[in-house]
């Protein structure tokens, strides 16, 4: 590919953060140093599982590679967790015996206690360190100990460390975490031979303290964390002491949140404790909160690491290494660890007019999704951040099209690694290879991009990336000169796609076919361009130029003279985040008339929320203000006992990912006084949140209609949710959308003439009653039905998904709560905290 002088080409594998002045991930990569399961288990996804047996499920071998068995005379008596190759965390009450070290062994990779499992590793103990504040007379407080091994575990698929929590990391009430061990399957029952796990929701501090205060000897402490179900049925039991309570981070790594300590009985309910005799009362499972003892753990483990590390530090601060070629090793040997709290800067210079090629032969820097802890950053000659690297995967060669580059290494006060080794050398400009395909090219000057082999046909399974950075106060214009890409309706086979950012959340334009697309203009100084092809047909590909336009020279009317350009530019005024009814990303409907519709454009319906119980999606809802959410009243039938576990989650697209989500507990809920759970009349409820939502690109309010506003029949509106696609399938993980026409109420009633529920004036009907498979389904309850304004295109909340017969069945349209009927009722409750917005008076003053 031809390139202009001054371009910068960056080829990487692993974690990359690219943005002028800041760092964001190109892709979210799991932490490769801890907390990874070789066998990921599906989370429970049925509300009826709330009362399953103590001990939960038997697990697959290797599902918890951090779990260890503490054995006295080869007999298991407590659990523990690997946090490094030489360190295990357990409960202090497990290691009270002063002579225990002499006959204690730690077995990792254990699954069946009656067998020697493949991959098992057993090591003796070098030292046992109990927390200095642990008191056997109050054994629940500071119930934690460190065990140092006499030797080191060899990490494998069955032996691997869990992550320690970060400073300030939050484990919210209602978060479902996992505890595991060989504890009893019922109170006073036998100990199983095979490892079991159980999912437990975190209990808030207030509820935890209340439950523990009802016991004969009330329990108090500084390090207590509670988890469990108020009605019992699931718990960690005797024999699990010292084992882990693990919570999964949003990017996939499992974190050690707690150490199993104590509980009253085994999976007993603590509801109505005060009505029970003392010996029949129950409690949540009590764990030692790792966050409260994190500094103590780090102090002991890091002290040991420093003893092993070299005294290597930066030999030169901002050291200049002028030479045509050379080597850089930090620290001096790959067998040594770099020190904590380092700041090292190197400037590499080669002769004027030459370019610099970096090759890494070794790389071991503390892993983190955003490289926020330890990292090696690469800067261009003008101090523009090119990339930030961490983890254990060596970056592929980095070719910088200038004669100077700056490297900066920083480390924090926690985990360290063995650093990096690299060689650098000067290359003449004509040695630049083609870029973009099977790699990543980062371009800082105007030039040309094209598909591989151009003008010959491109390859199957192509995956090409270009990130273009414009100077400050400039935008990027991408102009196609040639275009021949396999055509299909939604460009899902082969395509060229332009995005606003490297996270690929804001799509500007996606193109395929044989017509040259209109020019594409960015709205910021960065653009990500991706060319993708599937495994079938190939064609001639594309060639495009990119240039930079200063914002003061951005004259849209002048640009409109170019053929079809006006259709390719988005010139709408930026709308404030708190304006209601505005999609964050423009919705796109491709195959809207199918069951459950289709996957929505991510974050195009920013008012959609998920109402959850213990991290399980139960119903949908819509944000009205920062503090109030509206949903269906029937979502709370028979769920009063779980009200402390209710959670509202906004900013979701994929319900299994939490990147932009905002989680809020429910302060109070208000069910309409006329709600009838049999007829489903007045099926509406309001939820007040404990903390306000933050309105941003991913979370915005929906508009309310005018009082008694009528939605005209045949009007096409949109319903959204994560409901099941039909009556026999699981719920969708990604937000679905479905366009449905509003039906005449009398016509709708005729479809339900023999059904107990009547379609009243407080309801709306929508759907395709004469065709099957066109409906919203279970799990979408409470979700929004929104209709766009014909004048502005802003969306109004016309309905809430309420009821229907079956799921997408012929002759049974969906029935929705008619929101316009309840406007006075809604405003009566939310006036004190901020009235919900009606239709916005927003004008484009550009």
Active-site positions?
93, 143, 241
Specify which residues 72 forms β-bridges with.
75, 104
Cα–Cα distances (Å) from 78 to 105, 195, 265, 402, 540, in that order, read 11, 12, 17, 59, 65
* 523: Cα within 13 Å, side-chain hemisphere: 14
Backbone angles phi, psi at 159, to 5 degrees: -135, 115
What is the distance between the alpha carbons of residues 67 and 71, in angstroms, rounded to a whole number? 13
Backbone angles phi, psi at 815, to 5 degrees: -115, 135
Backbone angles phi, psi at 750, to 5 degrees: -65, -30
Tokens of 787: 């209709």
- Name the H helices within 280-368: 294-308
What is the distance between the alpha carbons of residues 18 and 392, in angstroms, rounded to a whole number? 19
Nearest by Cα to 110 from 199, 192, 198, 200: 192
- Name the H helices within 710-813: 745-751
| DSSP single-letter state for residue 33 | S
CA dihedral (518, 524, 526, 527) in degrees, to 10, reads -30
| 834 within 8 A of 625, measured Cβ to Cβ | yes
| 718 within 8 A of 622, measured Cβ to Cβ | no
- What are the DSSP E strand ranges found in 491-583? 495-499, 507-511, 520-521, 526-532, 541-550
Specify which residues 194 forms β-bridges with.
112
| 402 within 8 A of 8, measured Cβ to Cβ | yes
| 18 within 8 A of 26, measured Cβ to Cβ | yes
Tokens 């279970």 sit on residue = 778
Write the DSSP assignment of 98-153 as a string of letters. Answer: TTGGGTEEEEES--BTTS--TT-EEEEEEEEEE-TT-BTTBTTTT--EEEEESS--
Q: SS3 for 221?
A: coil
What is the distance between the alpha carbons of residues 648 and 15, in angstroms, rounded to a whole number? 31
Tokens of 486: 């396999």
Q: How many residues does the chain have?
A: 846
Strand duo 355-364 + 319-322: pairing: unpaired
Q: SS3 for 295?
A: helix
| 53 within 8 A of 221, measured Cβ to Cβ | no
Backbone angles phi, psi at 820, to 5 degrees: -60, -25
Strand duo 784-788 + 795-803: pairing: antiparallel
| 629 within 8 A of 608, measured Cβ to Cβ | no
Spell 453-486 as b/e; 16+ CB within 10 A means b: ebeebbbeebebbbbbbbeeebbbbbbbeebbbb
- Name the H helices within 316-452: none
């Amino acid at each position: 590919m031809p390139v202009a002088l001054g371009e910068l080409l960056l080829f990487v594998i692993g974690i990359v953060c690219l943005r002028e002045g800041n760092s964001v991930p190109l892709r979210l990569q799991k932490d490769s140093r801890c907390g990874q399961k070789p066998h990921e288990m599906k989370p429970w996804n049925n509300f009826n599982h709330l009362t399953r047996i103590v001990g939960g499920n038997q697990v697959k071998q290797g599902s918890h590679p951090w779990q260890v068995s503490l054995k006295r005379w080869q007999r298991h008596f407590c659990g523990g967790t690997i946090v490094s190759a030489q360190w295990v965390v357990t409960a202090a009450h497990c290691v009270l015996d002063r002579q225990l070290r002499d006959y204690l062994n730690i077995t990792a990779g254990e699954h069946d206690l009656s067998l020697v499992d493949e991959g098992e590793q057993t090591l003796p103990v070098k030292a046992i360190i109990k927390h200095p504040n642990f008191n056997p007379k109050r054994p629940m407080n500071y119930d934690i100990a460190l065990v140092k091994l006499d030797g080191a575990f060899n990490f494998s698929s069955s032996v691997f460390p869990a992550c320690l929590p970060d400073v300030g990391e939050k484990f919210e009430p209602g978060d479902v975490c996992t505890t595991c061990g060989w504890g009893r399957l019922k109170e006073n029952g036998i100990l199983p031979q095979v490892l079991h796990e159980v999912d437990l929701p975190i209990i808030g501090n207030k509820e935890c303290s209340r439950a523990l205060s009802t016991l004969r000897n009330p329990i108090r402490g500084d390090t207590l964390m509670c988890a469990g179900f108020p009605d019992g049925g699931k718990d960690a039991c005797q024999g699990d002491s010292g084992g882990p309570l693990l919570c999964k981070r949003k990017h996939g790594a499992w974190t050690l949140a707690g150490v199993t300590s104590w509980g009253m009985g085994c999976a007993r309910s603590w509801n109505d404790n005060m009505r029970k005799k003392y010996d029949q009362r129950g409690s949540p499972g009590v764990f030692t909160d790792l966050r409260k003892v994190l500094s103590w753990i780090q102090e002991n483990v890091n002290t040991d690491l420093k003893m092993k590390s070299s005294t290597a530090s930066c030999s030169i601060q901002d050291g200049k290494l002028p030479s045509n070629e050379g080597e850089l090793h930090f620290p001096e040997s790959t067998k040594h660890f770099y020190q904590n709290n380092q700041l090292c800067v190197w400037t590499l210079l080669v002769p004027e007019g030459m370019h610099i090629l970096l090759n890494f032969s070794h790389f071991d820097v503390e892993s983190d999704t955003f490289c926020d802890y330890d990292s090696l950053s690469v800067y261009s000659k003008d101090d523009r951040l090119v990339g930030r690297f961490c983890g254990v995967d060596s970056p592929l060669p980095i070719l910088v099209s200038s004669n100077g580059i700056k490297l900066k290494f920083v480390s924090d006060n926690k985990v360290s690694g063995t650093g990096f080794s690299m060689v650098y050398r000067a290359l003449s400009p004509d040695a630049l290879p083609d870029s973009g395909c099977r790699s990543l090219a980062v371009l800082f000057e105007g030039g040309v991009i094209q598909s591989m082999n151009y003008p010959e046909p491109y390859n199957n399974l192509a995956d090409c990336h270009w990130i273009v950075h414009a100077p400050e106060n400039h935008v990027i214009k991408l102009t196609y000169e040639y275009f021949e890409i396999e055509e299909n309706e939604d460009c899902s086979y082969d395509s060229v796609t332009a995005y606003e950012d490297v996270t690929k959340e804001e799509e500007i334009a996606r193109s395929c076919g044989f017509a040259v697309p209109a020019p594409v203009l960015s709205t910021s100084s960065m653009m990500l361009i991706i060319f993708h092809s599937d495994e079938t047909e190939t064609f001639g590909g594309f060639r495009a130029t990119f240039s930079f336009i200063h914002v003061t020279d951005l004259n849209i009317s002048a640009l409109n003279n170019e053929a079809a350009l006006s259709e390719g530019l988005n010139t709408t005024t930026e709308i404030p985040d708190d304006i209601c009814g505005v999609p964050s990303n423009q919705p796109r409907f491709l195959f809207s008339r199918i069951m459950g519709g289709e996957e929505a454009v991510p974050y195009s319906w920013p008012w959609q929320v998920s109402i959850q119980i213990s991290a399980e999606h139960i119903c949908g809802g819509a944000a009205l203000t920062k503090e109030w959410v509206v949903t269906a009243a029937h979502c709370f039938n028979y769920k009063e006992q779980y009200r402390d576990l209710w959670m509202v989650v906004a900013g979701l697209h994929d319900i299994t990912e939490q990147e932009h989500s905002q989680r809020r507990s429910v302060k109070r809920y208000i069910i309409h006084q006329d709600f009838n759970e049999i007829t489903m009349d007045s099926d509406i409820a309001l939820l007040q949140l404990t903390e306000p939502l933050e309105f941003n690109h991913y979370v915005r309010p929906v508009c309310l209609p005018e009082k008694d506003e009528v939605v005209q029949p045949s009007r096409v509106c949109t319903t959204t949710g994560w409901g099941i696609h039909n009556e026999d399938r699981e719920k969708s993980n990604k937000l679905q959308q479905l366009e449905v026409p509003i039906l005449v109420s009398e016509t709708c009633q005729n479809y339900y003439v023999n059904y107990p529920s009547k379609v009243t004036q407080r309801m709306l009907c929508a759907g395709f009653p004469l065709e099957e498979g066109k409906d919203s389904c279970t799990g979408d309850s409470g979700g929004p039905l929104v209709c766009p304004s014909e004048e502005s295109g802003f969306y109004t909340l016309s309905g809430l998904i309420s009821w229907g017969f079956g799921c997408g069945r012929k002759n049974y349209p969906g029935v929705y709560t008619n929101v316009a009927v309840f406007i006075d009722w809604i405003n009566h409750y939310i006036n004190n905290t901020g009235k919900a917005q009606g239709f916005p008076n927003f004008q484009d003053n550009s």
